[in-house]
């Protein structure tokens, strides 16, 4: 297929895509701000000389990308941008949010010392059946829930961690400092997507059945000794993980 042939095929079949691209650029430039309503499909259809269905298909495409929310009655509104969340050699929620001018806050939801699952104990370099802290936290950005995490740490190594974490305002970085750990690194992060459970939807204030990004991560001392596991669930519509291996 030559470039010209391809362009013609495109003109016939995917006018909606051109419209979607233009609207996306307009949103990117700030012509439409977060919360703004895009022109109605009938107005855009006239402007582009296409059928309303074509414009609606462009709207659907933008909605799939998370750029707009289409709702009956309120029209097509520009969505809030996803908060970028860098996953590098050091991962700190507060620091991540601070970089993009967002005030992060956290809350401790629960804390319990439990008998460790064999797999988690092994990952933390502990004997099977060692006592582990299981501490749940909720993280917010400018007051909006972003993610909730279940943390696992050795009870022996981190005595009274429930209190330390709570007193540190549910900041892991601050809580670990209480135990003399001034620096820690992210060994690995595994990320996937699934639908939110009812409890997660409630905690994150998203629709039940909305998509969440699920992360399972291991933090370690600078000498790469694992000390902390965290299983997190992030609101897919609000957070974007960023991996830039050459940026650090």
Position of tokens 């996953």?
A: 87
- Please identify, using beta-carbon distances, which residue of 42 and 199 lies nearer to a copy of itself: 199
80 binds a copy of itself (CB under 8 A): no
Residue choice 62, 201, 213, 227 for contact with a copy of itself (CB under 8 A): 213
Closest CA to 161 of 178, 145, 173, 147: 178
How does 214-236 read in b/e, with b if 16+ C-beta sit within 10 Å? bbebbbbeeeeebbbbbbbbbbb
**Minimum CB–partner distance for residue 240 and a copy of itself (Å):** 5
164 binds a copy of itself (CB under 8 A): no
Residue choice 60, 81, 157, 177 for contact with a copy of itself (CB under 8 A): 60
Beta 131-141 vs 75-78: how paired, if at all?
unpaired
- Please identify, using beta-carbon distances, which residue of 42 and 195 lies nearer to a copy of itself: 195
Quick one: which segment of 43-51, 111-119, 141-149, 170-178 binds a copy of itself (CB under 8 A)? 111-119
3-state secondary structure of 107: strand
Structural tokens at position 21: 């691209």
Rounded-to-integer distance, Cα 112 and Cα 135, Å:
6
The 9-28 contact track toward a copy of itself, x by CB under 8 A, reads: xx----------x--xx--x
Q: Are the C-beta atoms of residues 39 and 56 closer than 8 Å to each other? A: no
- Residues in the interface with a copy of itself (CB under 8 A) total 63
Residues that bind a copy of itself (CB under 8 A): 1-3, 6-7, 9-10, 21, 24-25, 28, 60, 64-66, 82, 84, 87-89, 111-115, 117-119, 131, 155, 162, 185-195, 197, 209-214, 224, 234, 236-237, 239-248
């Amino acid at each position: 297929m030559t470039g010209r042939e391809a362009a013609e095929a495109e003109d016939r079949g995917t006018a909606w895509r051109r419209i979607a691209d233009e609207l996306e650029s307009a949103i990117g430039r700030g012509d439409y701000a977060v919360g703004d309503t895009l022109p109605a499909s009938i107005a855009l259809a006239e402007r582009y000389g296409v059928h309303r269905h074509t414009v609606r298909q462009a709207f659907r495409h933008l909605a799939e990308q998370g750029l707009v929310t289409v709702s009956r009655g309120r029209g097509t509104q520009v969505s809030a941008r996803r908060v970028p969340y860098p996953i590098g050699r050091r991962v700190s929620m507060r620091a991540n949010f601070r970089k993009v001018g967002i005030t992060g806050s956290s809350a401790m939801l629960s804390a319990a010392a439990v008998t460790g699952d064999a797999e988690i104990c092994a990952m933390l370099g502990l004997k099977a059946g060692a006592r582990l802290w299981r501490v749940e936290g909720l993280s917010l950005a400018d007051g909006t829930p972003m993610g909730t995490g279940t943390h696992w740490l050795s009870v022996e190594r981190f005595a009274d961690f429930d209190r330390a974490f709570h007193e540190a305002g549910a900041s892991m970085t601050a809580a670990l400092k209480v135990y003399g750990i001034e620096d820690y690194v992210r060994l690995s992060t595994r990320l996937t997507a699934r639908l939110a459970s009812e409890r997660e939807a409630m905690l994150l204030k998203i629709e039940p059945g909305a998509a969440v990004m699920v992360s399972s991560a291991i933090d370690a001392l600078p000498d790469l000794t694992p000390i902390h596991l965290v299983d997190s669930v992030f609101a897919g519509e609000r957070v974007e993980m960023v991996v830039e291996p050459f940026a650090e």
